[in-house]
Amino acid sequence: MLFKLLLPFAFGYFLSFLYRVVNVAIAPDLVQEFGLDANQMGLISSAYLLTFALCQLPLGLLLDRYESRKVSAALLLIAAMGALVFASADSALGLLIGRGLIGIGVSACLMAAFTAYANLLPSEKLPLVNGLQLMAGGLGVVSASTPVQWFLTWGDWRLLFQILGVASVVASVLVYGLVPKYTTHSKGQGLKLQLVELWQVIKSPSFCQMAPLSVTTQGVFGAFVGLWSGYWLRDYLSLSDSVAAQIILTMALAMTAGFVVLGWLAASLYRFGVSSYVVSVSGMLIYILSQWVIINEWSEWHHLWWGLSGFFGTSGVLMYAYLSQSVPKSLVGRVNTSLNLCVFVVAFACQWGLGIVINLWPADALGIYPQTAYATAWMWALGLQVMALIWCLYHAILGKLR
């Protein structure tokens, strides 16, 4: 059963992440063809994140009411349509609409998988299985670096998105055809009761304590993986496209390893009474420190520090397993999508907001912004994470004192 569960959901999530981060590789082509500035490029890329986020609350209700395979399979067809709209765009508006449709279409790829796993597998297996699912997303990031750069040497970005559209249809068929059926727990509940239960989850002390740190680290990580890492490496550090792609590949491979290793570590330590919460917070602290080193250029070992950033940038996702274990199965879909909503709202705000901040400085004749612009933008994002860390630790210490 695990194979039938993991294969289709993993393929869908692979596509989801590839869609999310592919603009890192194709951004120079889009800027040249459509004459986009940093603000416009940030908005177009983040349109995926905004529509993705807006789908999360209704998606949570759907996943608790209907089977994951039905919800995810239907939405993946919308992703296919969005890819074709993006591929045929002749203006920035067309790109924006295409990215928005793609965000809607892949909005269930991760949460549908997590909900199905929570309903079909023992709770002690969730951190590891969730990690394997997330590893597929990491492979999507890997594919969006050097492999996409290679593809663009003989094809163009329009052909790439046409292929991704076909792949999305295949993913839809696999999800609907292979994923085992299971009994949902909320069919007899009215919408009003479901919303009341959702509000109870969101305002609970544990959610309010843990969510800000997980949300800010994942949101910032998503913004950089999805777009701004390439700008930093190419413009701030003046690295060539090929060298930048290699560093992004290192980060992507480390991210893939982080999903699996941290999931395995959390599952292993769970047997000794150490919760995934402890593993998650520790990893997020290291992620914040790695960003500080990169911003201040304390080391020229770019592969090492971007690799550490990629590995520990995944730490926040362990909160999904922790929260799934702490609520009844009838609420799993809603608690996961509530957290995911917050993550993608912050990721949207960061990806577009960083572009707005960078755009405050004038670009040179080649469209390159000054180093100060990038450093200021990233320091702003780092400050959000530090405040969330202080919030989390404050409430953790306060809880122990009580």
Cβ atoms of residues 146 and 253 within 8 Å: no
**Residue 278 structure tokens:** 């402890």
CA distance 243 to 313: 21
The alpha helices in 123-180, defined as continuous H runs, are 126-143, 146-151, 157-178
Supply the pLDDT for residue 265: 86
Supply the pLDDT for residue 167: 96
Burial grade of 291 (CB within 10 A; 0-12, 13-18, 19 or more): buried
Tens-level pLDDT at each residue, the chain (402 residues)? 566 788 899 999 999 989 988 888 888 889 888 988 888 888 898 889 889 888 877 887 787 777 888 899 999 999 999 999 999 999 999 999 999 999 999 998 988 888 888 777 776 677 677 778 878 887 888 888 778 888 988 889 999 999 999 999 999 999 998 888 777 655 545 556 656 666 766 666 667 777 788 888 988 888 887 778 888 888 888 888 788 888 988 988 898 888 888 878 887 887 787 877 788 889 999 999 999 999 888 878 899 999 999 999 888 878 776 766 666 666 666 677 777 778 878 888 888 888 889 989 988 877 788 889 989 988 988 999 999 889 888 877 765 545
> Which residues are within 8 A (CB) of 38 and not within 5 positions of it... i.e. 6 or more apart?
231, 355, 358, 359, 363, 369
Supply the pLDDT for residue 188: 47
Angle at 12 between CA 184 and CA 244, to 5 degrees: 140
Q: Coil, strand or helix: which one is 262?
A: helix
182: Cα within 13 Å, side-chain hemisphere: 25
Contacts 24+ apart (CB under 8 A), 146-153: 146/245, 146/246, 146/249, 148/22, 148/25, 148/26, 149/25, 149/241, 149/242, 149/245, 152/25, 152/26, 152/29
**Angle between the N-to-C axes of helices 68-87 and 157-178, in degrees from 0 to 180, rounded to the nearest 10:** 170
Question: How many Cβ atoms from other residues are within 10 Å of residue 104's Cβ?
Answer: 19
Supply the pLDDT for residue 186: 54
Domains delineated in the chain = 2-180+193-401 (1.20.1250.20)
**Count of residues for the chain?**
402
> Which residues are within 8 A (CB) of 15 and not within 5 positions of it... i.e. 6 or more apart?
79, 106, 109, 140, 164, 167, 168, 171
CA distance 276 to 318: 6
289: Cα within 13 Å, side-chain hemisphere: 9
- Amino acid in the structure at residue 119: N
How far are the Cα atoms of 85, 149, 172, 217 from residue 162, in angstroms, in the given order?
Answer: 9, 16, 16, 32
If you write DSSP's letter for every residue of 341-381 in order, what string do you get? HHHHHHHHHHHHHHHHHHTTSPP-TTSPPPHHHHHHHHHHH
**Angle between the N-to-C axes of helices 2-21 and 68-87, in degrees from 0 to 180, rounded to the nearest 10:** 30
CA distance 303 to 249: 9
Cβ atoms of residues 255 and 310 within 8 Å: yes
Cβ atoms of residues 37 and 137 within 8 Å: no
CA distance 137 to 357: 29
CA distance 143 to 149: 9
Supply the pLDDT for residue 197: 64
DSSP annotation of 181 reads: P
Q: Coil, strand or helix: which one is 239?
A: coil
